[in-house]
Amino acid sequence: MATVSLRKVVKRFGPLTVIPELDLEIAHNEFVVLVGPSGCGKSTTLRMIAGLEDATGGEIRIGDRVVNNVEPKYRNIAMVFQNYALYPHMTVARNISFGLRAAKLPKAEIDKKVREAAEILGLEDLLERRPAELSGGQRQRVAMGRAIVRDPQVFLFDEPLSNLDAKLRASMRVEIKRLHQKVRTTVIYVTHDQVEAMTLADRIVIMKQGVIQQIGSPLEVFQKPHNLFVATFIGSPAMNLLEGEIVAGGDGPALALGEGMVVPIPDRPGGRIEVGQKVTAGLRPEHLVADLETMSTLPDPWHLDATVTVTEPLGSEALVMLSLGGHEVTGKANSAAMPEPGHPMRLGLDLRHLHLFDPETERAIY
Ligand SMILES: Nc1ncnc2c1ncn2[C@@H]1O[C@H](COP(=O)(O)OP(=O)(O)OP(=O)(O)O)[C@@H](O)[C@H]1O
Ligand SMILES: [Mg+2]
């Protein structure tokens, strides 16, 4: 158990500044996921916490201790990488116990730790196999076992599931969540997969070009993105964005979306909008309702005429690509009531979930 604290941490590689200045406080036992596009500095941040990279500036603490000058092996952390880096000639048991044997722990203690880790990870029956005789998911569990036996204060994961196929990724995601519930250790987990971030994290840290864009629970960052980057990065399919302008409606401000389309803007505290202001409006596909049944539950002025261009059935629901005025948007429909391509239709906009952003600063204004 430990807190992890990054204060004004800077990382430069020669002339290249990868992390301009980063502050992050992680609580005991918290599961924090760093997410962001390729090259945004996720691995670099993790490697600085692990001690595999020096911070150019700032302070890194694990627990009460400043660790900037502490060697990785004395930081009390364990790191699991994307490529599991198992020793091919060693059995599972020997792979798991490698670090303990190197540290010359008594044999009885090593055996006990390996047994416990194997039990947590469901590897009891595989201890005598070699890595080549394991599936990808089993190898990943061995790599985690090697980390667990060290009783680290902090687990660091760098894209541990990205080598696995989609189905195995989903089941390993559950394993990792279960593991965290069992061992109750601080976890910092790096991924570029926003689904992984949403499902695993207590808190998500969204990064872009070395700068934190938002920190919050999965629901917070999904429901209240602070800016356009977060709004479009989190959520799949991505939030629809429409350029528009605030106009005076009959009953308060309204949103003009071009081609005569105007929708009311529901009253909401904290909104900073003025008539005449240009805005980027955002609505997630789940709030562009293309099936008649759900649409009928929305108030009258929340409907617009659209044309269906493509439909993508996904099982119980379907994605519906629509042309709405000059805009291409994605909505969702119940598969049973899916509209036909080429057909005009009334589209329901669930405006309770409307987002408005300032197109210049890209910040949320409503
Ligand atoms: N040793 C290095 N020397 C120079 N530049 C580096 C070095 N390591 C990383 N970088 C640069 O730092 C930036 C951040 O890299 P980092 O590996 O942290 O990205 P990431 O967010 O983990 O991306 P990915 O999702 O692709 O793994 C990149 O622009 C990368 O090219
Ligand atoms: Mg990386």
Q: pLDDT of 33-52, one tens digit each?
A: 999 999 999 999 999 999 99
**CATH code 3.30.450.20 for 240-357:** no
Residue 81 is predicted with a pLDDT of 84
Q: Place 182 in a pLDDT band, splitting at 50, 70 and 90.
A: confident
- Indicate the pTM of the whole model: 0.91
Find, among 168, 169, 233, 227, the residue nearest to 200 by Cα: 169
Domain locations in the chain? 4-233, 240-357
Q: Place 256 in a pLDDT band, splitting at 50, 70 and 90.
A: very high
* Residues with Cβ–ion distance below 5 A, ligand 2: 43
Cα 15 to middle of ligand 1, angstroms: 14
- Give the residue, by CA position, lying nearest to ligand 1 atom 27: 38
pLDDT at 269 over 80: no
Can you tell me the distance from the alpha carbon of 258 to that of 113, in angstroms, rounded to the nearest whole number? 66
pLDDT at 327 over 80: yes
pLDDT at 339 over 80: no
pLDDT at 191 over 80: yes
Which helix (H) or strand (E) covers residue 361, if one does? none
Mean pLDDT of the chain: 92
Give the mean model confidence (pLDDT) for residues 236-258. 92
Assign domain 4-233 to its CATH architecture: 3-Layer(aba) Sandwich (3.40)
Can you tell me the distance from the alpha carbon of 192 to that of 208, in angstroms, rounded to the nearest whole number? 11
Ligand nearest to the CA of 81: 2
> Cα–chain-centroid distance for residue 120?
25
Which pLDDT tens digit goes with each residue over 58-71?
999 999 999 999 99
Q: Write phi, then psi, for 72 (nearest 5 degrees).
A: -50, -45
Cα 137 to middle of ligand 1, angstroms: 26
Q: Place 1 in a pLDDT band, splitting at 50, 70 and 90.
A: low
Q: Place 202 in a pLDDT band, splitting at 50, 70 and 90.
A: very high
